[in-house]
Structure 1
Amino acid sequence: MSDQPSPARADQPGAGPSAAETRGGDKPAIPEDRLVTTVHSLSLPEGPLDYTATAGTVVLKEEPEGEEYDRGAAYAELFSVSYVVPGTDDAPRPVMFAFNGGPGASTVWLHLGLLGPRRVESGDAGAPAAPPHQLLDNHETILKDADLVVVDAMTTGYSRPAPGQKPNRHHGLAEDRDLIAAFIIDWLTRNRRWTSPIYLAGESYGTTRASAVAAHLMDRYYVAVAGIALISPVLDFGTIVFSAGNDRPYLHYLPTYAAIAHAHGKHEGRLLQDVVDEAEAFAEQEYPALLAAGARLDPAQKQEAAARIGALIGVDPDWVERADLRVEHLAFLAELLREEGLVTGRIDGRFTAPAGNGNSARMETDPSIDQLAPSYTATINQYLGGELEFTSDVVYEIMSGRVHPWSYKDFENRSVEVASDLARLLRKSPHTTVLVSHGYHDAATPFHASEHVLAQLAIPREDYSDRIRVEYYEAGHMMYCHEPSRLALSQHLSEWVTGADAAAVDDPDAEDDAATE
């Protein structure tokens, strides 16, 4: 990859002082945009891909509330990197806005793991990358098909409140939704891209954010997105949050437990899909009745059920019976490989690490995050300050606990969910499509929970069939650390943005040709 950096323009004071550096006296300084644009070229097998990268913080302003009108007041400085390929014809390129979740995660994961023109060599389960960490050219970047904007939510990355503002005003579902939507509106206006097809890509809580933001863009601004990519989605927290009286997570996690057990040799000689199919059938048919029976369940039936569950998820049936047939996910991840002295990953159940306490009831740390994060931390800091020439006086927050407590105040006495937002958007916007990506070994946002929520969306059956594409990968939450899954997901994203997947459905012969190949 050859870089040809260009100096920041006059309206992009990348080399100037930060807002924090210009504060003085009792009155907060007026913040300014700090953007640096550099020129790059990515060598692809089909030829060079020339693009610009604009990295830095933009100041978002709001109209003050009250009777007296005033000019917009600065309230946030959001960090983003925009990758733009110069136009070659009259048709505007699509633009994809991407973000991770947490809450508290920066967008480094999608940025350097999957979507951007440069990608981190992170390694995989059993072979995480050792330092010195490095970046590689990403020949599968979505930039081939769409311009890309990766943006960090408040208090993640370099995003911070404007001087005199408090960050916690943005630490909540509705507040975060409004902030990201405002950023998108601002970007479209600054870059004169209002007629470009707009795509959103979110991962984990970023899928909660993407669904809420897309609905808000339509409800508030009448901006209809062309599509939403939901990578490792959670659309209804009631399906994954273990709480008293809520049996749904036990049902939805069971197929994931079975898949993780398969990854660690607990179903020797069987195909992963066969194991998953059996677990899903049990979770949907027999398991709900067993849990609903409670104390009414005959002891012999309970013992038989525990044996069935233990065989499916690779643990001692006595342990399942003592858990009253209800296996919590952190407990499972500590129990599965206890005899080997290992704990299993939550973000990706294929990862393992030595147990600090062999008798611990729950996993104490997540080996998948622990083994992947250092490569992302090193490379994003080197990349931003080196190739993209942007620096800041604050720390780039890869993962920040400072966003907590996260507010869900609009969901008092009910489950936090955005499925209704997604359904409302699909009813309002007939051209919006959805790409859903599940990792079989993801114990953070289990695939069966997502399947269930999507199947219950309040949309016509034909819309569910025609406008929602669901894909699966033999990896975890960040399935792109698994090279075959990264290649497959990149291909699926490309097909989705370019419309190649729809063309294949419309042309039966195309499907036959693909099957033959």
Structure 2
Amino acid sequence: MRHLLLLILLLPMALRAAEPPADAEATPDPASAKAKFDEANADAVAAAWARPPLDEAKSVTRHSVNVNGRKLDYTATAGTLTIRDNHAKPTASVFYVAYTLDGAAPGKRPVTFLFNGGPGSSSIWLHMGSFGPMRVQTSMPATVRPGPPAFGANRDTLLDKTDLVFIDAIGTGYSRPVGEAKGADFWGVDQDIDAFARAITRYVTKTQRWNSPKFLLGESYGTLRASGLAYQLGERGMALNGVVLLSTILNYGVEQSGYDTFFITLLPTYVATAWYHNRMADRPATVDEAVAQARAFAMGPYAAALAKGALITPAERDAVANKMAALTGISADYIKRANLRVDLFRYEKELLRDQRTTVGRLDTRYTGVDVDAAGEFPEYDAAGTAITGAYTAAFGDYISRDLGYRSELAYLTSADGPDGDKDFDWDWEHKAPGAPYPQTTPNVGPDLSAAMRTNPYLKVLALNGYYDLATPFFATEYDVAHLLLEPAQAANVSFRYYPSGHMIYLNPDSLHQLHTDLAAFYDDATSGL
């Protein structure tokens, strides 16, 4: 009993001894500490967050360039266009650089809107390499040495014929969504066409260019965009004078691996490539002659053989494989094992396998070296890595130093890449004019056809490189032939061909010919105005 009484007396003292002193610090809670830090720094973070301008920004500078002995004084405007939805709510800030000839009457002076494709590419490639007053000096086929790149006046600028407006797609360059809009609101075939239509309309309104002759010039996926835009702008009251398609793709349905048409349209580029690398049997004197043979074979015996599928006889298969081998430089045995259908990546790897080299996709004149010479596909595109560093460096210096435009935003060459948005995902659905439902493999042939039917003055020029496997020239011919135009409208489409790859303008000689061909096109499209 005495021990129990002692325990009762001592227990409160023990409990008090176990309690921390009143002035002792409690163990900190990491989550609570982070929340307090974030709250305390929220205003500073918000103030430092780089955002696109809601109010349209611009930097205006004046320059001159000599073209064929003629001095061209021009104004460069680097800035943003704020586009809005149908309720006038801002949705995106679109970056552009415009070059306008000084002293020209805006009402008579053509204006051309230029853009690359991707989808998800900025327009740095056209801007830095093609028709602007300044360009990176390149030669072909060669990799540009690390910086500083040769950058200077462009003797083949189109500024002598038209004002130029280079536009970056939303999510690329300095173009960004604003307000509640997200990148995904613009990342799709139809969404992208709508955004560009609004940006072009805004520029034309802001600069009072409604009466100017208007042209579109798109490259690669940009040709799909330009074809859709030709129809959409017409529907919104903006009639165009011309559309220039540089390395064209109109129909992703045709150009899907697994469809026979895909292999038919690739074959003439295989033949041009074999001709260039001296792998073509009975090699003719010129690539034009080689291509002529390829066209006849592709649409004749080759197309007929593929159409038979499993019904083809062994003798027919042997005859077609032997002819393909003579034209393309790939062995007949390999061609037969591929069921007469040689995928473009396999062709890149197989043509020069005995030399342990591959050929490029964007330009098959380029050659690369893989670690695994026995592999089935190239490990990289030998042409795709040749110019990226030079173009990016040249633009970064030029836009701030010469054009005076500065932004806290990063200039994104691509929305789909290591410097772009990790959530980039393109919506491929497209509803063509008159179609009952959207297609998931877009075809804008009906859009371009409808634009040409409703505007009989619209001229279209397709520019193609013989050594381009990304957008083969024969696929362009196939797509245009299936626009199903009447003879009067079909006469408004013309083609030009160059000994080049996907980016025709990288070759100085081809660029000079491009300028000559485009100058004639502009004269034709604006004659009588």
Q: CA deviation at 1:342?
A: 1.1
% identical aligned pairs: 33
Q: Which residue of 1 aligns with 2:500?
A: 475
Q: Which of 421, 434, 447 matches 2:473?
A: 447
Query: 1:73-129 CA deviation, whole Å, 9 max, x = no partner?
Result: 211011100111123458531100000101021111111211100011133214534
Cα distance in structure 1, aligned partners of 2:48 and 2:124: 36
Q: 1:490 to 1:316 in 2, by over 3 A?
A: same
Within 5 Å, which residues of 2 pair with 1:74-153? 74-89=90-105, 91-126=107-142, 128-153=144-169
Q: Which of 491, 499, 503 matches 2:524?
A: 499
Q: Which residue of 2 aligns with 1:487?
A: 512
Q: Which of 372, 386, 395 matches 2:410?
A: 395
Residue 496 of structure 2 aligns to which amino acid in structure 1? Answer: E
Cα distance in structure 1, aligned partners of 2:52 and 2:126: 33
Q: 1:502 to 1:311 in 2, by over 3 A?
A: farther
Asked if 1:54 is matched to 2:69, the reply is no
Q: CA deviation at 1:201?
A: 0.3
Cα distance in structure 2, aligned partners of 1:47 and 1:283: 46
Q: Which residue of 2 aligns with 1:265?
A: 278
Runs of at least 4 residues of structure 1 off by over 6 A? 500-503
Q: CA deviation at 1:340?
A: 1.0
Cα distance in structure 1, aligned partners of 2:365 and 2:392: 22
Q: Is the 8 A contact 2:197 2:233 kept in 1?
A: yes
Which ranges in structure 2 are unaligned for 5 or more consecutive residues? 1-42, 432-437
Asked if 1:73 is matched to 2:86, the reply is no
Q: Which residue of 2 aligns with 1:247?
A: 260
Q: Which residue of 2 aligns with 1:434?
A: 460
Q: Which of 295, 306, 317 matches 1:280?
A: 295
Q: Is the 8 A contact 1:101 1:205 kept in 2?
A: yes
Which ranges in structure 1 are unaligned for 5 or more consecutive residues? 1-19, 65-71, 504-517
Q: 1:99 to 1:276 in 2, by over 3 A?
A: same
Residue 288 of structure 1 aligns to which amino acid in structure 2? Answer: A
| 2:442 match: secondary structure | coil
Q: 1:345 to 1:30 in 2, by over 3 A?
A: closer
Query: 1:477-516 CA deviation, whole Å, 9 max, x = no partner?
Result: 111111221111111111111239979xxxxxxxxxxxxx
Query: 1:384-443 CA deviation, whole Å, 9 max, x = no partner?
Result: 111111122222222331474211223655641111000100110111101110111110
TM-score, with structure 2 as normaliser:
0.85
| 2:384 match: secondary structure | helix
Cα distance in structure 2, aligned partners of 1:181 and 1:118: 27
Q: Which residue of 2 aligns with 1:407?
A: 427
CA RMSD of aligned residues (A): 2.3
Q: Is the 8 A contact 1:121 1:375 kept in 2?
A: no
Q: 1:502 to 1:316 in 2, by over 3 A?
A: farther
Q: Is the 8 A contact 1:121 1:129 kept in 2?
A: no
Q: Which residue of 1 aligns with 2:23?
A: none
| 2:130 match: secondary structure | helix
Q: 1:413 to 1:481 in 2, by over 3 A?
A: closer
Cα distance in structure 2, aligned partners of 1:247 and 1:139: 43
Q: CA deviation at 1:364?
A: 2.3
What is the total number of aligned residue pairs between the two structures?
472
Q: CA deviation at 1:453?
A: 1.4
Residue 298 of structure 1 aligns to which amino acid in structure 2? Answer: T
Q: CA deviation at 1:154?
A: 1.1
Query: 1:181-211 CA deviation, whole Å, 9 max, x = no partner?
Result: 0001100111011100000000110000001
Asked if 1:457 is matched to 2:477, the reply is no
Cα distance in structure 2, aligned partners of 1:63 and 1:378: 38
| 2:78 match: secondary structure | strand
| 2:390 match: secondary structure | helix
Residue 463 of structure 2 aligns to which amino acid in structure 1? Answer: S
Q: Which residue of 1 aligns with 2:306?
A: 291
Q: CA deviation at 1:164?
A: 3.3
